[in-house]
Structure 1
Amino acid sequence: MNRLLKRILALGISISVIGVGDLGRQVYALKENPQEKKNDIRMHSKFNKANKKEGELIIKYKKDLKSALSKEDIYKKNSINLKKSLSIPNVDLVKIPLGQKEEDVISNLKKDPRVEWVQPNYIYYSQSTNFLNNNAYLKQEENGQYQWGISNTGQNINGQDGVPDVDMNIEEAWDVTKGGSSEGTGKENIVAVLDTGIDISHPDLKNSIWINKGEIPGNGIDDDGNGYIDDVNGWDFYNNDNTVFDPMDGDQHGTHVAGIIGASNNGMGIIGVAPEVKIMPLKFIGPFGGTTVDAIKAIEYAKRKGVKIVNCSWANNSYDAALKEAIENSGALFIASAGNDGELIDSGVSYPAAFNSANIISVASINNRGELSYFSNYGVKNVDIAAPGEGILSTVPKKIKASAAIKGNNTFYQGFGLEAIENNSERKFILDKVMKTLGINYKDPILIVQDDESDFALPNYLNSYRVPLQDLGYSNITTYNVPFYDNGPSLSKMKQYKLVLWFTGESYDNPITIDDEDNLVDYIKSGGKLYLSGENLGESLKDSDLLLKYMGVKILFKDEGVQAVKGMKGTAFESVNMNESYITEQSSYKISKGGNYALEVNKDSYINSQGYTISNNAISVLEYLPSYNYDKSYEFYDGTSMAAPYITGLAALLYAKGTTNIEEIKNRILNNYKPLESLKNKVASPGIPDAFRALGGQVLSLDLNSDGIVDIKDLASIAQRYNLKYGEANWDYKYDLNFDGVIDIFDLVKVANGIK
């Protein structure tokens, strides 16, 4: 059983189905897991995610409850304590003391005539499903070539050819507006992103980030009087501070969402749907999700700053009355991801998307062929429209360093996977050094433990290890594939092998169970040799005896995927130097022989200030370095998390053009779309939004050949395309005059009626 789940169950935390996320990625286990499977969606699986904050309830009292003594009586009667009064009238967050059963307290409160409703403090997860892990190095002249949602010319995205014009006509919309200040109010056009944090230093985002002009940076004073000190760029409600980006919290998701909405037009990287909009980072999701209470605080923050458009790429499967009320009282339009369970949600399931609130747009996902994504939730009642959500390229944070350490000649810990190395010859070079250092001969029995959760739709990286080993001449290799969410091989099984090579690929929710740890420790103690590899293992195993005592590894910082490998002087890996173009003085640092494996920028000062003790147990031998700039900080994600910000960006364009009424913005989006056959009976507005038409840019003239008159030549233009349907070759939306997805008799009649 998963180590985190065991700890959760030990604490009595309820686990239930949550709607997906993502990562994904997505409260999530260690951070949102963005990888999901077509027929068995992981992110909101009931065995994987906590559905609510243990020991906390949200209570709404009846309006006629005016006496503080009445509240005190309710608290005393139910043995609960006030934790905080929320911004919603008559709503409190309360704490249940240890030993009290939550279900009993809820049952008693519901019977109290002074209580309108009571609910848990739910936890929400981001809604991305895949980190496809094919970083795009985007040169200036390549800007946007992968952004099929903006311009689909049929280009191939991750192995799939698109269908031309299955896009949102965003390039045409930019002739109308790019999302700057609102023509209707003259005010700055601000979109709030309620999510994980956002890397506000990313070159595609730094000019798009909202600046609180009422706050003086760094003076330690709440200058604008909103209750938050130095909230220059927004607020982190998860950590309760003003740092809206925490790389160790897994803030990739919010950064990706922000790029889709508002990456600036700077001639490099990508461009957002509304490249002149300002993005307000409101972080409420962290390594263990985000709560109802923190979401409400973020909504209130945005409301007080006058924000009218809010992106919500996250979900929970429980009806949340407190969140619903906060959304409905916000005065803003909320764009919510429909969820990634591949389910019909007309009876609920995924919130806030399934709330019947007038100020919510619920968004499904489609691929570059106009097909409903396999993972996307749907429903003509609770899902309004679809948008691009598969193979979506956007911004991610700059990567962080990782290392590899060896203790004696028995264990080797690698804080990155060999899948991150670009080619097999380089993998062979590293593996050759590892095998020789560990003293493994070509005929020694080797057990490769594949624990990368590829049976649950994460990438399969077995060949990143098996193929180079075979090429090196190691012939006695056995593979053990660990089923998703199960224990690995037994101790007796492992003891049959000279070396156990255990890798975890891109799994974020540590697949190495407590039983696995015990078996690996006993295996090492029995004289076995262990090679442990995984880019996300450090955080979850950092306090384990396996790493600290038996592998000599102390994790100070969490590692992430990065782009270059360099061997340390004085070790067998000294000559390893790969992808050297990314190794620079800015990114390189040294860990001296004999020092603990660590992942921080300044090792000595960090250890001294935190009180860590340096031991000589392990030698850091291999360093995996990031690029010192953001060249590689773009990735493809899948999910309704990616679809929602496309609609958010369109809403921002409409607001900039002067449509300031949120109901009108919603209607314009839902009433102007390109029909898609795959969405019939799946979503309320069965198509992909047409930004150009929504902005009022549709061709109103019947002079289709632009010769100055409406005549028989225009009829001929229609006739030449008669019976062409949306998505077919030679399709041109301007000839579909009634927007029904087919050029037919109705369009001929419209032109005929215009002939004088």
Structure 2
Amino acid sequence: MPFSPFLRRSVLGLALSFPLLTAAQSVAPAAPAETVTPADAALRQWYLLDPTADRVMGVSVNRAYQELLAGKPTTPVVVAVIDAGIDTTHADLKRILWRNTREIVGNGLDDDQDGYVDDVRGWNYLGGADGRNINLETLEETRLLAQLQPKYLGKSRAALPAAQRPEYDLYLKVKKSYDAKVKENTDRLKQYGQAYADNAQVADILKQTLQVERLDTAVLHNPPTRDPKLRDLTGQLYAMLKPTGFASLEDILAEMKNGLKETQDQLDYGLNLKFNPRPIVGDDPDNASQRNYGNPDVAGPDPLHGTHVAGIIGADRTNAAGILGIAANVRIMAVRAVPDGDERDKDVANAIRFAADHGASIINMSFGKYYSPQRPAVEDAIRYADSKGVLLIHSAGNENNDLDKTLQYPAPVFSNGQRIPNLITVGASSRDNDAGLAAEFSNFGKTQVDVFAPGNQIYSTLPGGRYGNLSGTSMAAPVVTGIAATLKSYFPQLTAADLKRIILASAQPLHTKVRQPGGTKLVDFADLSSTGGIVNLYRAVQLAQQATPAVK
């Protein structure tokens, strides 16, 4: 899934972060959508800034364009975004979207004879031929448990034939994980439901007392009262609201309400053993070799996540509006394969193949899960992409797990233990070079995570022509994808192997003592990934210039 559990936990965590209830702090993942001026965007896109000049841990995009790339020629680079969908009407995205020139829009024919009808902007593997789409899906644990429980419930390992014991062991592992998630979501719904109700009630009382319609930052910073207790309370609220990117307490309450709904959806759908939306697609989900299914709706029911990812990579840098994408000459191909729930291996494999067959040089994969029943199909697709010279960028995940101990899929290694040569796995970093540099939610791993990139409070495009902050390794991966696309655009002779080598080599190790994600233990930031560093476009361009002297 596109890591919505982190978003859900963090948004609901805001319910406990205000002094009305407790002093607990939490990251705010999603600021309210809004229109924005270029000046505003420049301040909010901290990840484009330079660590030395600007004193924030950005990736030196602005500096690279100003000092190294100005006036240099570029070639267009196709980047596939395998995600939940992209808003193709967004003003900051529509010019940079990929277009299948061999396909005629809306004629109902497979003009280019690739097996897909009207695949003009990409393809949707979560849709049916009748135009319907999957939004909510089950988790992989749910699907596996529904399959295995009828065979093994109530049985003991000793009583089973030796050939069935590995599958029985998988059943026990899956059931333990499933039961834990049911409990986690049930407890969260109860805890945060009450916190939301309490905060909403206090907000209503405070508005009545202050005689205001909205508790925005302006009111909280300078409340219309001289009561010292009220001013102290509004001051505390302002201090906690300001860094989150939300404009008002009402906006936070709305996000909390959405988070509660998502938690309820997780229980009702993601963890529902009887729920199966796949008949909408009309394929055989167990047949991993099946290719031609789906529909051309690349936006889908909820394109928020994919729209945000696409903007980070390549939002229009020429329209003097909105934000600046990292890559200047990019074409974003939308491939929808990630529902609200766990993506299916079959869809991921087909999405990778579609992108590779239609000219993508780089694929962004901001999703992941901890079980992969059709892993061979995904690995075959990754090998196929490698044969086509395609680089894959994958987010490490948001459960603050050590991936050296627990693999997350698609894994950075093949099932035979060999390192995947055309894959980069990315953890998430934060704005400041202090103990919080490693984002508290990010997965990590000295061998399994390659590099870190900004992923905390990342400002980008949202559906409906709007903008806002999201946090997650889902945001860190497209930062790396944008860097890879920039290198490929200015230095087109670079291969996938070259891009990976340069990106990793240009991430200089940082030895800041940071909190290990998910805890308070201080560790060396350099020990959280194989490179020990954060990606940097400026240094990557310098290395690319050395590798391709004729293009200096």
Q: TM-score range by the shorter chain?
A: 0.5 to 0.7
Instruction: Give the 5 Å matches for 1:352-363.
Output: 352-355=410-413, 356-363=419-426
Please point out which of 91, 105, 108 is paired with 1:217: 105
Could you tell me how far apart the structure 2 residues matched to 1:276 and 1:34 are? Answer: 34
Please point out which of 170, 176, 190 is paired with 2:61: 170
* Residues 215 and 223 in structure 1, CA contact (< 8 A), matched pair in contact too: yes
Instruction: Give the 5 Å matches for 1:21-170.
Output: 21-23=3-5, 35=11, 131-151=29-49, 164-170=55-61
Q: 1:180 to 1:274 in 2, by over 3 A?
A: farther
Q: 1:649 to 1:23 in 2, by over 3 A?
A: farther
Cα deviation code 1:573-612 (max 9, x no counterpart): xxxxxxxxxxxxxxxxxxxxxxxxxxxxxxxxxxxxxxxx
After TM superposition, give the deviation of residue 250 of structure 1 in Å. Answer: 1.9
Q: Name the counterpart of 1:51.
A: none
Q: 1:699 to 1:663 in 2, by over 3 A?
A: closer
Q: Name the counterpart of 1:329.
A: 384
Cα deviation code 1:309-343 (max 9, x no counterpart): 10000001125232122112212111000111111
Q: Name the counterpart of 1:305.
A: 358
Identity %: 33
Cα deviation code 1:202-261 (max 9, x no counterpart): 001011100111111111111111111111110111111111112xx2210000000000
Cα deviation code 1:422-447 (max 9, x no counterpart): xxxxxxxxxxxxxxxxxxxxxxxxxx
Q: 1:357 to 1:178 in 2, by over 3 A?
A: farther
Report the 3-state secondary structure (helix = DSSP H, G, I; strand = E; otherwise coil) of the residue aligned with 2:321. coil
Please point out which of 432, 435, 442 is paired with 1:369: 432
Could you tell me how far apart the structure 2 residues matched to 1:207 and 1:215 are? Answer: 18
Q: Name the counterpart of 1:652.
A: 485
Q: Name the counterpart of 1:340.
A: 398
Could you tell me how far apart the structure 2 residues matched to 1:390 and 1:131 are? Answer: 8
Could you tell me how far apart the structure 2 residues matched to 1:674 and 1:326 are? Answer: 31
* Residues 22 and 130 in structure 1, CA contact (< 8 A), matched pair in contact too: no
Provide structure 2 residue ranges, at least 5 long, that are not aligned to the other structure. 15-26, 128-293, 414-418, 513-524, 547-552
Q: 1:207 to 1:688 in 2, by over 3 A?
A: same
Q: 1:336 to 1:34 in 2, by over 3 A?
A: farther
Please point out which of 659, 673, 676 is paired with 2:507: 673
Cα deviation code 1:88-115 (max 9, x no counterpart): xxxxxxxxxxxxxxxxxxxxxxxxxxxx
Please point out which of 251, 273, 290 is paired with 2:326: 273
Could you tell me how far apart the structure 1 residues matched to 2:428 and 2:507 are? Answer: 14
- Between structures 1 and 2, the one with greater helix share: 2
* Residues 262 and 275 in structure 1, CA contact (< 8 A), matched pair in contact too: yes
- Residue 245 (structure 1) aligned with residue 299 (structure 2): yes
Q: 1:137 to 1:153 in 2, by over 3 A?
A: farther
Could you tell me how far apart the structure 1 residues matched to 2:298 and 2:532 are? Answer: 36
After TM superposition, give the deviation of residue 299 of structure 1 in Å. Answer: 1.0
After TM superposition, give the deviation of residue 657 of structure 1 in Å. Answer: 1.9
Could you tell me how far apart the structure 2 residues matched to 1:282 and 1:180 are? Answer: 31
Report the 3-state secondary structure (helix = DSSP H, G, I; strand = E; otherwise coil) of the residue aligned with 1:680. helix
After TM superposition, give the deviation of residue 182 of structure 1 in Å. Answer: 5.9
* Residues 337 and 644 in structure 1, CA contact (< 8 A), matched pair in contact too: yes
Q: 1:180 to 1:152 in 2, by over 3 A?
A: closer
* Residues 458 and 471 in structure 2, CA contact (< 8 A), matched pair in contact too: yes
Instruction: Give the 5 Å matches for 1:260-299.
Output: 260-265=312-317, 266-299=319-352
Amino acid corresponding to residue 341 of structure 1 in structure 2: E
Could you tell me how far apart the structure 1 residues matched to 2:9 and 2:347 are? Answer: 21
After TM superposition, give the deviation of residue 178 of structure 1 in Å. Answer: 8.8
Please point out which of 377, 400, 408 is paired with 1:350: 408
After TM superposition, give the deviation of residue 36 of structure 1 in Å. Answer: 7.6
* Residues 178 and 275 in structure 1, CA contact (< 8 A), matched pair in contact too: no
Give the alignment's TM-score, normalised by structure 1: 0.42
After TM superposition, give the deviation of residue 353 of structure 1 in Å. Answer: 4.3
Q: Name the counterpart of 1:692.
A: 538
Q: 1:345 to 1:153 in 2, by over 3 A?
A: closer
- Between structures 1 and 2, the one with greater strand share: 1
Could you tell me how far apart the structure 1 residues matched to 2:71 and 2:344 are? Answer: 31
Could you tell me how far apart the structure 2 residues matched to 1:286 and 1:180 are? Answer: 40
CA RMSD of aligned residues (A): 2.8
Could you tell me how far apart the structure 1 residues matched to 2:80 and 2:100 are? Answer: 13
Instruction: Give the 5 Å matches for 1:481-630.
Output: 630=465
Could you tell me how far apart the structure 1 residues matched to 2:114 and 2:310 are? Answer: 24
Count of residues in Structure 1 that have an aligned counterpart in Structure 2: 340
Q: Which has the higher contact order (CA 8 A, sep 6+)?
A: 2
Instruction: Give the 5 Å matches for 1:393-542.
Output: 393-398=459-464
Report the 3-state secondary structure (helix = DSSP H, G, I; strand = E; otherwise coil) of the residue aligned with 1:344. coil
Please point out which of 230, 234, 253 is paired with 2:118: 230
Report the 3-state secondary structure (helix = DSSP H, G, I; strand = E; otherwise coil) of the residue aligned with 1:394. strand
